[in-house]
């Protein structure tokens, strides 16, 4: 971490259109504003990890870490991650967004797209290095806690899980708080919870979780 901002090295607050925003330095991906120095605005409204940083959650990210990112979609968030992190493995199971993700990786030597199902970690265990520093999860699917537990195997003992839970993906009718309680209870088998925060300012009915392996 470069200063007392709580942001990892390689993530800065810079002014775009008169407004201070998170930013990373790299090739443009989704039409986000880019300044003259090559910094690109990181839209927290389109990124749960961006929202977690914007809300001041203590992610433990310092910059340069190895990352396994589950639910990469077309690369909006993972492109920013690869801008400040080390080797970044991006798992996504839908072929269409992976086509875009491959384009995003062409500009980033440290970004490795994997067309894989995050529920089946054995299918990419031969590719992803062991002792990953940070597991980022944004899979909007039923069984989000199960996916986190199954992928615990990749994390270093002092690594971090940074997870966004979408309540409606588990149960559209349930009270989000009940859904979050259930997810947290299931995570307990493999993780120690460090911090949770509702992301509603940026993402309705989402919970941000920071945890470390037990």
Burial class (CB in 10 A: 0-12, 13-18, 19+), 16: middle
Q: Cβ distance 166 to 140 under 8 Å?
A: yes
Nearer to ligand SAM, 91 or 167 (CB): 91
Q: Which of 83, 42, 92 is nearest to 64 (CA)?
A: 83
151 binds ligand SAM (CB under 6 A): no
- Range 92-121, binding ligand SAM (CB under 6 A): 92-94, 97, 117-119
User: Which residues, in sequence order, are CB contacts of 46 under 8 Å at separation 6+?
Assistant: 30, 76, 77
Stretch that binds ligand SAM, among 137-145, 152-160, 182-190, 199-207 (CB under 6 A): 137-145
Is 76 annotated for ligand binding?
yes
Q: Does 71 bind ligand SAM (CB under 6 A)?
A: yes
23 contributes a contact to ligand SAM by CB under 6 A: no
Q: Determine, following the binding rule CB under 6 A, whether residue 54 of this chain makes contact with ligand SAM.
A: no
Q: Find where tokens 């062991």 sit.
A: 130
Contact 149, 163 (CB under 8 A): no
Q: Is 163 in the site for ligand SAM (CB under 6 A)?
A: no
Ligand-binding annotation for 118, yes or no, is yes
Write out the residues near ligand SAM by the rule CB under 6 A.
47, 71-73, 76-77, 91-94, 97, 117-119, 138-141
């Amino acid at each position: 971490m470069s200063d007392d901002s709580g942001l990892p090295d390689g993530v800065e607050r810079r002014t775009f259109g008169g407004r201070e925003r998170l930013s990373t330095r790299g090739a443009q991906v989704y039409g986000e504003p880019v300044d003259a120095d090559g910094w690109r605005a990181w839209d927290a409204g389109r990124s749960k990890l961006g929202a977690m940083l914007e809300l001041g959650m203590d992610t433990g990210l310092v910059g340069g870490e190895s990352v396994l990112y589950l639910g990469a979609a077309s690369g909006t968030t993972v492109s920013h991650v690869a801008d400040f992190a080390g080797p970044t493995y991006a798992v996504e199971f839908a072929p269409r967004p992976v086509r875009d993700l491959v384009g995003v990786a062409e500009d980033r030597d440290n970004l490795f797209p994997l067309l894989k199902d995050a529920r089946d970690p054995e299918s990419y265990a031969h590719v992803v290095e062991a002792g990953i520093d940070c597991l980022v999860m944004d899979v909007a699917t039923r069984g989000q806690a199960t996916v986190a537990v199954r992928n615990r195997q990749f994390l270093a003992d002092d690594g971090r899980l940074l997870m966004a839970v979408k309540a409606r993906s588990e149960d559209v009718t349930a009270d989000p708080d009940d859904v979050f309680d259930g997810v947290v209870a299931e995570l307990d088998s493999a993780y120690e919870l460090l911090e949770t925060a509702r992301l509603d300012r940026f993402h309705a009915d989402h919970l941000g979780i920071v945890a470390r392996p037990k």
